[in-house]
Amino acid sequence: MKVTAFIIFSLLNFNMAFSADCFRTKRDIRSSDFVAQVQSYIPQTHRGHVIIVPPTGGTNVLDRSYARSLCAAGLSAHILSNWSGDDEFNLELEIHTRFYARANRAIRVVVNSFPPGDFIGILGTSVGGIHAAIAASQLPRISTAFIITGGAHVPGIIAYSTQQAMRNAWEHRQKKYGFKNKQEYVTALEKVIELEPGDLSNSGKKLGLVIGEQDHVVPTANQERLRSLWKPQKLIVYNFDHLPTIVLTWLFNSREVVSFFAQAVPVE
């Protein structure tokens, strides 16, 4: 109870401290028949953009808090709230191909809406962190990325995640496809999942990660795999599971996250 009260108190004070002088707007960004919906926080003096990709469940209070803080630092923050086809659900393995491809397309659509030469960073949490890590690997215009409890090797994350939706998918697919064990499941997923975070260790991009050392939702082993691929300049580690790591990062490291992006903007 004390911890919950402290989080609520901190959130209220944090929101009040960073809500001034930002214009908030919602817009649909279209590309052919595809639509990405964003909630933007625009400062009076603009220095660049940061795309925020939320975790499972959609935009939450922490995303909005990060957006206000980034805006206060002179960065336009754009929360990617929805995109075409993001609510598709079935048990086909191929759904993951479409799921990650659509998210990648949504981020690409937002990136392409910014004027050429503008600074672009990306901040993602949990599955949003996986999407953000893939986008940072795919899109040259994204120069800075900060990932909170994301990971690499998507098939392994899907197979071994303790998230209820992933556990349900395993149980139903085991019956449907006759997988004898998780390794068979991983092998089948590897055949259909095309997008993965890439090796950015020598890319020149500014990279930051938060790792939960006891994470079972995005397994710690997969977070460490992303760390090995990226060799980030900024690393924050908590010896907790998934949600506590996310909340503690926001509570105690929000200013570091914002500074990470603010300091990455080229000096004119």
Q: Is 4 helix (H, G, I), strand (E, B) or coil?
A: helix
Q: 46, 26, 47: which is closest to 38 by C-alpha? A: 26
**Quick one: pLDDT at residue 20?**
56
Question: Distances from the Cα of 95 to the Cαs of 152, 180, 197, in angstroms?
Answer: 18, 21, 18
The DSSP bridge pattern shows strands 34-43 and 22-31 to be antiparallel
**Quick one: pLDDT at residue 268?**
72
Full pLDDT tens readout for the chain, 268 residues: 344 444 544 454 444 344 458 999 999 999 999 999 999 999 999 999 999 999 988 899 999 999 999 999 999 999 999 999 998 988 999 999 999 999 999 999 999 999 999 999 999 999 999 999 999 999 999 999 999 999 999 999 999 999 999 999 999 999 999 999 999 999 999 999 999 999 999 999 999 999 999 999 999 999 999 999 999 999 999 999 999 999 999 999 999 999 999 999 998 7
Give the whole-angstrom CA distance, residue 85 versus residue 68: 28
**Quick one: pLDDT at residue 21?**
83
